[in-house]
Structure 1
Amino acid sequence: MRVGLCGLGDRLSYVAKVMSDLIPGFEIISYADPTPSKLDYMLERKIEMRGYHCLESMLETETLDFLMIGSPNHLHLEQIKLGLKNGLKIFTEKPVVITESETFELLDLIKQYDAADDILVGMVLRYSPLYKDLIASKQNGDLGELVSIEASEHIAPEHGAFFMRDWRRNPAMSGGFMLEKCCHDIDLYQGVVGCRPKRIASFGGRKTFTADNSAQEHLSIYHERKSRWGGTNTVFNDGQLIDNQVAIIEYQDGTNLCFHTNLNVPDEYRHFCVVGTNGMAEGDFVRAHFKVHDAKTSALIKDITYQHDDTISMHYGAEEQMAADWIDHFENGTPLPVSIINALEAGLTAIKIDEARTQNSIIDLTELWERFDSYGLSV
């Protein structure tokens, strides 16, 4: 498989390297990026590629089988379009697109090119061992009918400060924090519930990374992560993202979710508690544990602590499993645990969560999903 990369930054260089190591015949031959920040990283790992200033030039020159897109989010749609026009199988990092209109434009393209199975997405947490165990507990009846979910994604101050200095600080490029970072989590819990949101409300804002706190600018913790393309050294004065937000979701089957995110949590965690009529599943991706209790007896029926190779996986063992699942998909056509349709559903949900926040309203999504389903592409 001849592979070309578009956007040679932190995330794509890492994912491509993992896949090159773990998938036989996965040959990275070229990249397109006018300012490739991770070229040295790839060369140090003995991956030598031909470089191009733009994707069009690479596609005109190279014979590829697979295009991997890891550029800033606002560029994804046009790059996916070029890949489809060239008949390529495509991987795109999350979020796939950044607006409602882009979502429906991509649905048009997927239908036009019959490409629902040809676009892989970087919703990597669906591959994680913890999430697979959660799904298994639901499927085997440990939880019964789902009732409510409490979940969070909290990141440490050095990570939050990175978002305020990186290109992601600009919602016009990233789509905002809920979409850029938390679409993983939104996707996970839509997958657990097994249906889409019916109504959404949200509240949030900026209280930490503001000009009022700029006297802390000199602290080293806020500059631990290096910002690259489009970055700035200012933590407290330039970012446009929220730094705390809650979302309340009512799903179509009546299950409720309360989701909380914060960018300044010293002892970070990524927690969930899924409560059903038969039991409760509680886990944490960061702290690497999973427990299930029976509702009738309060007995602990599952208690798992996870270990994974930190030199391979940045996402709790998910990257290794993603490589294994890709092999099965490429060789046997086996469906992957997350599809482009799942990713677009999660993305739309995140976009609407932010819309509810900015409009100070409860949003009913019934008509949105009717339009989405009119394409005949829902899973």
Structure 2
Amino acid sequence: MKVGIVGLGYRLGYLAHVFTQVRPDFQIVGYVDPDPAGLPSMQERDIGAGRHFSTLEDMLETEKLDLLMVGSPNFCHLEHIRLGLEHGVKIFSEKPVVTDLEQTLELARLLSRFPADQLMVGLVMRYAPLYTELRRAQAEGILGNIASIEAAEHIAPFHGAFFMRDWRRYDKYSGGFLMEKCCHDLDLYNSIVGARPMRVASFGGRRSFTPENMPTNWGANDTEVYFRKPSGWMGTDRVFDSDADIVDSQTALIEYANGASLAFHANSNVADQFRRFCIIGAKGMAEGDFIRGFLRMHDARTSECVIDREFPRSTALSVHYGADEQMAADVYDHVTKGRPLPVSAIDALEAGLLIFMIEQARRTKTVVELGDSWARFDAALASEE
């Protein structure tokens, strides 16, 4: 398989390792990036990156690619995806696929002109063994109709500090904190509910990474924590007093078209991080945590525990609960054999649209209705807008 990369950052440098370990004939023949932060890790692992191209157009016109991988900053994805679609190449884009509502509608209009499966999106948690088991049990009827969900993604201070120091600190580049970090989670819960979100409210702000919380005497531990994760393009060494405009904590309340509800909480300065959920249905409930690695399900009428399983937080290849290598294998098989994937570009766009409306609710301090936005989205998919 001949692969090209546009935006060779840390994530795609890591995924290059995963893909080549899972499928040895995965060959990167070229890349486009003026400052490829992911290249050193590939060189350390003796993974070839192929030829450096100055523009994506040059690479697409020179190389006959089987797959284009898009790992550029989020706000660049739309243009890079457009070029790949127009050159007839299969595309794997890192999440989030786009950064605002107008880009969402524009990409929806683009997708209406091309095969539905030409664009894949790296919502890697759809491939996690824990999620696969949860969905299997749900399909067997253990939960019944979903009534409500309580969920959270809480990340450690070293990861929150990275957001304050990287290009992701600007909403205009990343799409915001929930878009950059939690689009996985909201996509998962959309899929579990099985209906579109129709009404949202949200609250949040900067409460941890602020000047008054800066250590007065920086020690070795502070340096190790707040600079553990390297920043890339537009990086800064300012953690607590950077020019970031993203929030570091946020809550969202979501009501779905079928009456189910979701309460979601995210925080980027949590000492003992977790990524957990409690899903309550008419017939049973499911509790789990991707980081702490468990899934328990109980029958509502008998209180009997019907599933009690543990899952790995990481594996030899995966930092995402065993999901990265499964995603690599499935994407490869999709490109080479046409096998279906558990998540689509439309799923990714729908999760993104939800997050845009959550951000609107936070900024305006109002309850936001999504009906008009869905109508515009559907019209764009049908090329009617």
Which bin holds the TM-score, normalised by the shorter protein? over 0.9
**Which of 226, 234, 243 is residue 222 of structure 1 equivalent to?**
226
Alignment of 1:228-267 (within 5 A): 228-238=232-242, 239-267=244-272
- Give the C-alpha shift of residue 214 in structure 1: 2.7
- Give the C-alpha shift of residue 86 in structure 1: 1.2
- Give the C-alpha shift of residue 375 in structure 1: 4.0
Over 6 Å off, 4+ runs: none
CA distance in 1, matches of 2:351, 2:216: 35
Q: 1:9 to 1:216 in 2, by over 3 A?
A: farther
CA distance in 2, matches of 1:333, 1:55: 25
Alpha-carbon displacement from aligned partner over 1:113-159 (angstroms, at most 9, x marks no partner): x2321001010000101111111121111111110000000000111
- Give the C-alpha shift of residue 187 in structure 1: 0.2
Query: Which amino acid is the alignment partner of residue 58 of structure 1?
Result: M
**Contact map agreement 1:148 1:274 (CA 8 A) in 2:** yes
Counterpart of 2:2 in structure 1 is 2
In the alignment, structure 1 segments of 5+ residues that lack a partner are: none
Alpha-carbon displacement from aligned partner over 1:48-90 (angstroms, at most 9, x marks no partner): 2111233222223222121000010011011111111211100
Q: 1:65 to 1:328 in 2, by over 3 A?
A: closer
Alignment of 1:101-250 (within 5 A): 101-112=102-113, 114-216=114-216, 218=218, 219-220=222-223, 221-238=225-242, 239-250=244-255
CA distance in 2, matches of 1:375, 1:38: 35
**Contact map agreement 1:33 1:55 (CA 8 A) in 2:** no
Counterpart of 1:87 in structure 2 is 88
Partner SS, residue 136 of structure 1? helix
**Contact map agreement 2:200 2:368 (CA 8 A) in 1:** yes
The answer to whether structure 1 residue 75 and structure 2 residue 76 are counterparts is: yes
- Give the C-alpha shift of residue 40 in structure 1: 1.8
Partner SS, residue 237 of structure 1? coil
**Contact map agreement 2:330 2:341 (CA 8 A) in 1:** yes
**Contact map agreement 1:116 1:377 (CA 8 A) in 2:** no
CA distance in 1, matches of 2:124, 2:216: 34
Alpha-carbon displacement from aligned partner over 1:168-219 (angstroms, at most 9, x marks no partner): 0011100100111110001000010111101010000111111222345832
Q: 1:377 to 1:316 in 2, by over 3 A?
A: farther
CA distance in 1, matches of 2:41, 2:52: 14
Aligned CA RMSD, in angstroms, stands at: 1.6
Query: Which amino acid is the alignment partner of residue 98 of structure 2?
Result: V
The count of corresponding residues between Structure 1 and Structure 2 is: 377
**Contact map agreement 1:125 1:318 (CA 8 A) in 2:** yes
Counterpart of 1:351 in structure 2 is 356
**Which of 323, 330, 342 is residue 325 of structure 1 equivalent to?**
330
Seq. identity, %: 51
Alpha-carbon displacement from aligned partner over 1:81-106 (angstroms, at most 9, x marks no partner): 11112111000000000010000111
Query: Which amino acid is the alignment partner of residue 92 of structure 1?
Result: S
Query: Which amino acid is the alignment partner of residue 334 of structure 2?
Result: H
- Give the C-alpha shift of residue 308 in structure 1: 6.4
Counterpart of 1:46 in structure 2 is 46
Counterpart of 2:365 in structure 1 is 360
The answer to whether structure 1 residue 300 and structure 2 residue 305 are counterparts is: yes
Alpha-carbon displacement from aligned partner over 1:6-34 (angstroms, at most 9, x marks no partner): 11111111112211221253211111100
**Contact map agreement 2:248 2:267 (CA 8 A) in 1:** yes
CA distance in 1, matches of 2:89, 2:204: 40
Partner SS, residue 3 of structure 1? strand
Query: Which amino acid is the alignment partner of residue 222 of structure 1?
Result: Y
Q: 1:85 to 1:377 in 2, by over 3 A?
A: same
CA distance in 2, matches of 1:353, 1:242: 13
Counterpart of 1:65 in structure 2 is 66
Report which stretch shifted further, 220-229 or 67-76.
220-229
Alpha-carbon displacement from aligned partner over 1:297-321 (angstroms, at most 9, x marks no partner): 1111100011365330011011121
CA distance in 2, matches of 1:308, 1:150: 21
CA distance in 1, matches of 2:376, 2:29: 40
CA distance in 2, matches of 1:42, 1:23: 16
Counterpart of 1:282 in structure 2 is 287
Report which stretch shifted further, 328-337 or 84-93.
328-337
**Contact map agreement 2:293 2:313 (CA 8 A) in 1:** no
Partner SS, residue 181 of structure 1? helix
Give the TM-score normalised by the residue count of structure 1.
0.96
Q: 1:357 to 1:367 in 2, by over 3 A?
A: same
In the alignment, structure 2 segments of 5+ residues that lack a partner are: none
Partner SS, residue 226 of structure 2? helix
**Contact map agreement 1:20 1:28 (CA 8 A) in 2:** no
- Give the C-alpha shift of residue 377 in structure 1: 6.3
Partner SS, residue 241 of structure 1? coil
Report which stretch shifted further, 321-330 or 173-182.
321-330
CA distance in 2, matches of 1:90, 1:216: 47
CA distance in 1, matches of 2:381, 2:245: 37
